[in-house]
Structure 1
Amino acid sequence: MAIALLRVFSPIEFPIGLGIEGDLRGKKYDGSLKRKKQIWKMYSLSKYACVGLDPEGNGNFMIRSSVVASPAEEFISSEQRVYDVVLKQAALVREQGRITTPIDVKPDMAVPGTLYLLKEAYDRCGEVCAEYAKTFYLGTLLMTPERRRAIWAIYVWCRRTDELVDGPNASHITPSALDRWESRLEDLFAGRPYDMFDAALSDTVSQFPVDIQPFKDMVEGMRLDLKKSRYKNFDELYLYCYYVAGTVGLMSVPVMGIAPESKATTESVYNAALALGIANQLTNILRDVGEDARRGRIYLPQDELAQAGLSDEDVFSGKVTDKWRNFMKNQIKRARMFFQEAEKGVTELSQASRWPVLASLLLYRQILDEIEKNDYNNFTKRAYVSKVKKLAALPIAYGRALISPASTQRQSSRDSSLLKG
């Protein structure tokens, strides 16, 4: 790592729109599964056909996605791809122990001056996180210094990646620019960072059991945004949500750690982290329907729109009708199911890491409530959570972060009613 840090300020070819500090404007980021006896089953849940991976064939399954009018072989392929990434990352964590401990940098291993540059890089990541994700940043301050800095570095990389296709210079981004960004990622994991932000993440992945695949998959999600503006069913949308948001959970769990008193399997914690990413992205999609439509994009399952008697033109016209309300009710219901799955695993994280994740979950879930309060008008009204409600959520999240994993489920239903009140 010491050699790598000597290249922190080396000249390189940046993807368009990224300088040495990067362009960081734009959007805010804010089931025990075992390989043996994998049994894919179809279940009926309300109006949706859902899929679950039932490892033991006992009827316990993880909600995954709708498979309405989707060929079984395509469906299994999409789900299995994500599942394999989960297994790989979980196995990597198990190899180094469930409670990850960063590797100390020995003074005799460091080139003079590089530790100062690395500290500066992490501090800059923290400043970016504080500016664009204030609530989440506040929660990270409760983490250990090593975990806190690592999460900041991951956040900044995700933000920079998102800005490639969704920032002010997005119109100039080409597939080859994303190829260069992915090549740069591989160099970063090999200990060859290109700038100060890369140096922070390069140091992070050298200390924690973080796999490169979720990062590469996020870049793949950016490629989809360049070439795809419609999703024919929820299976396609689910994979997109994994690429652009579910990956963040897989990147973060090795850093946040699992509580020593947790009885959950490593895979189940990763599945919950994945579910939180999916839930957050589905919420983003439902909140931003009007904004996306004005850019010619519709991130809604085409087959479900048709089943509701709606078309792309209805979305572009932006009229709230009874058909639209009924359609939105079902979409919100699905997002809430993913939040429920996520909540089960967040409570298994190490205590010092729970608060920012729980706060994010509680606040994001409230966006769905706000869409309902706006009479499902997500065309011209942006659903947002007021500062008062945000402040009210923080002590609830903090209180729950102090509760042991075994006790947290009993508290969650009471908290939901308090937040809605």
Structure 2
Amino acid sequence: MQEYLCRISRDFLSRHQVNDRGETESHMGNLWGTDELVDGPNATYMSSSVLDRWEERLHEIFDGHPYDMLDAALTDTVFKFPLDIKPFRDMIEGMRMDIRKHRCQNFQELYLYCYYVAGTVGLMSVSVMGIAPESLVAAQNIYNAALYLGIGNQLTNILRDVGEDASRGRVYLPQDELAQFGLCDKDVFSRKVTDSWREFMKEQITRARFYFNLAEEGASQLKWNVWCCTQN
């Protein structure tokens, strides 16, 4: 698990350069660890009780009583930056959703899922990455942009991982929108690329790009070196 956390942190940092590598690495490593519990090799052993314990540890972290060294690293970050506990709690709720629900009936449900598992990451990260001192944009707009960036990223991940998710019996694509193109879960599981599938995917890609576009203005108000990396 620790090796995974270090790898995912390095990957994130290679795309989002920040001033204090250690602080952000501990921050991202801890928060991404929850996602690995549901989607990684230990997913079979995941349960609500395990996530309940993670939430207990989260409160201990914010109270200044970390459980282990990884928690201590996040505790240090929490006390150095104005991080709110709510996005962390919401992210764990997203992990609970992954355990009990593997379908989204419409985009409203998909958006909520994307917020829980990725939009929260954007909200957490703004405080650590920092807003450009010369920015004239309201802080709330920048946080909204970080949220939209997370949504766009998760929508992209879902489109990229359709086959992998299907192999686990999961279909995150909106069921009502699949039906509009004459598609259903059976078509997803078959992995056949038809004209209907292509048209459906074009619509989904357009939506993901829409959220990236919403995020662009706010992302430009992050510290200069962070913003530059979002342009790559």
- TM bracket, shorter-chain basis: over 0.9
Structure 2 residue ranges without an equivalent (≥5): none
Residue 149 of structure 1 and its aligned partner are, at CA, apart by: 2.3
- Read off the aligned partner of 2:19 and give its amino acid letter: T
Q: How does 1:80-99 map to 2 (within 5 A)?
A: none
Return closer, same or farther for 1:133/1:23 CA change in 2, 3 Å cut-off: closer
Report 1 or 2 for greater relative contact order, CA contacts < 8 Å, sequence distance ≥ 6: 2
Return closer, same or farther for 1:318/1:138 CA change in 2, 3 Å cut-off: closer
> SS of the residue aligned with 1:299?
strand
- Give aligned pairs, total: 232
Matched, 1:184 2:44: no
> SS of the residue aligned with 1:237?
helix
Residue 331 of structure 1 and its aligned partner are, at CA, apart by: 0.3
Cα distance in structure 1, aligned partners of 2:11 and 2:47: 33
- Read off the aligned partner of 2:125 and give its amino acid letter: S
Question: What is aligned with 1:274?
Answer: 147
Cα distance in structure 2, aligned partners of 1:143 and 1:245: 19
Matched, 1:144 2:19: yes
Residue 264 of structure 1 and its aligned partner are, at CA, apart by: 0.8
The answer to whether the 8 A contact 2:119-2:148 is kept is yes
Matched, 1:239 2:117: no
Question: What is aligned with 1:351?
Answer: 224
What whole-Å deviation, never above 9, does each CA across 1:8-48 have from its counterpart, x for those lacking one?
Answer: xxxxxxxxxxxxxx4554xxxxxxxxxxxxxxxxxxxxxxx
Matched, 1:329 2:202: yes
> SS of the residue aligned with 2:172?
coil
Cα distance in structure 2, aligned partners of 1:283 and 1:337: 11
> SS of the residue aligned with 2:104?
coil
Q: How does 1:59-70 map to 2 (within 5 A)?
A: none
Question: What is aligned with 1:170?
Answer: 43
> SS of the residue aligned with 1:300?
strand
Residue 134 of structure 1 and its aligned partner are, at CA, apart by: 4.5
The answer to whether the 8 A contact 1:139-1:355 is kept is no
The answer to whether the 8 A contact 2:8-2:29 is kept is no
The answer to whether the 8 A contact 1:24-1:159 is kept is no
Question: What is aligned with 1:292?
Answer: 165
The answer to whether the 8 A contact 1:233-1:304 is kept is yes
Cα distance in structure 2, aligned partners of 1:156 and 1:221: 17
What whole-Å deviation, never above 9, does each CA across 1:339-378 have from its counterpart, x for those lacking one?
Answer: 111111110012243244x1xxx5xxxxxxxxxxxxxxxx
What whole-Å deviation, never above 9, does each CA across 1:292-311 have from its counterpart, x for those lacking one?
Answer: 11110000000000111111
TM-score normalized by the length of structure 1: 0.53
The answer to whether the 8 A contact 2:145-2:216 is kept is yes
Calculate percent identity across the aligned residue pairs. 59
The answer to whether the 8 A contact 1:24-1:160 is kept is no
- Read off the aligned partner of 2:14 and give its amino acid letter: L
Matched, 1:257 2:133: no
Matched, 1:196 2:69: yes
- Read off the aligned partner of 2:96 and give its amino acid letter: R
Q: Which has the higher helix share?
A: 2
Residue 150 of structure 1 and its aligned partner are, at CA, apart by: 2.3
Return closer, same or farther for 1:134/1:187 CA change in 2, 3 Å cut-off: closer
Residue 259 of structure 1 and its aligned partner are, at CA, apart by: 1.1
Return closer, same or farther for 1:144/1:134 CA change in 2, 3 Å cut-off: closer
- Read off the aligned partner of 1:248 and give its amino acid letter: V
Question: What is aligned with 1:208?
Answer: 81
Cα distance in structure 1, aligned partners of 2:76 and 2:22: 10
- Read off the aligned partner of 1:255 and give its amino acid letter: V
Cα distance in structure 1, aligned partners of 2:136 and 2:8: 35
Residue 253 of structure 1 and its aligned partner are, at CA, apart by: 0.5
Question: What is aligned with 2:182?
Answer: 309
TM-score normalized by the length of structure 2: 0.95
What whole-Å deviation, never above 9, does each CA across 1:181-232 have from its counterpart, x for those lacking one?
Answer: 1001100110011111111110111111100000000000000000001000
> SS of the residue aligned with 2:170?
coil
> SS of the residue aligned with 2:171?
coil
